[in-house]
């Protein structure tokens, strides 16, 4: 099975940079996804990493180290609308199922 760990909550100031970490343990790693979920809404896709390194997409970047079972999501130039829960999810070979972490709640303050 999979074990995915994320810190639960963090507060950051508008305009700042925040890093959200995710560690995982799985057999047959086949990709890691980051989703954003605003309160009461469905998760929306942010990024996908399957190879080591950094993927940049506008203000959001995601990093993966397969050997360390570690990923982070970097949010730059924080905006109030970035207040949300950020979910890390791991895909394993041989199935089509994503295993989600509990999510990290980011609160952006003025």
Partner 1 sequence: SQTIHQWPATLVQPVGSPLSLECTVEGTSNPNLYWYRQAAGRGLQLLFYSVGIGQISSEVPQNLSASRPQDRQFILSSKKLLLSDSGFYLCAWSQEGGSYNEQFFGPGTRLTVL
- Summarize as ranges the residues that interact with partner 1 (CB under 8 A): 30-31, 33, 40-45, 48, 50, 87, 89, 91, 96-103
Of 49 and 108, CB closest to partner 1 = 49
Output the smallest distance, CB 63 to partner 1, in A: 18
Question: At closest approach, how far in Å is the CB of 72 from partner 1?
Answer: 18
DSSP type of residue 52 = S
- Rounded to a whole number of angstroms, the minimum distance from the CB of residue 104 to partner 1 is 11
Q: How far is the CB of 64 from partner 1 (least distance, A)?
A: 14
**Complex with partner 1: residue 57 or 97, whichever CB lies closer:** 97
Strand locations in the chain (E):
3-5, 9-13, 18-25, 29-37, 44-49, 53-57, 60-65, 70-75, 84-92, 98-100, 104-109
59 or 102: whose CB is closer to partner 1?
102
Rounded Cα distance between 91 and 86, Å, is 17
Instruction: For residue 81, give the nearest of 110, 51, 43 by alpha carbon.
Output: 110
């Amino acid at each position: 099975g999979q074990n995915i760990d994320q810190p639960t909550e963090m507060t950051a100031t508008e305009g700042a940079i925040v890093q959200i970490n995710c560690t995982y343990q799985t057999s047959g790693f086949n990709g890691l996804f980051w989703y954003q979920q605003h309160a009461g809404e469905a998760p929306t896709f942010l990024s996908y990493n399957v190879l080591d390194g950094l993927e940049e997409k506008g203000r959001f970047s995601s990093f993966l180290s397969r050997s360390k079972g570690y990923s982070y999501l970097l949010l730059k130039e924080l905006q109030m609308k970035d207040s949300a829960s950020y979910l890390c999810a791991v895909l394993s070979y041989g199935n089509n199922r994503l295993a989600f972490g509990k999510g990290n709640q980011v609160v952006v303050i003025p």
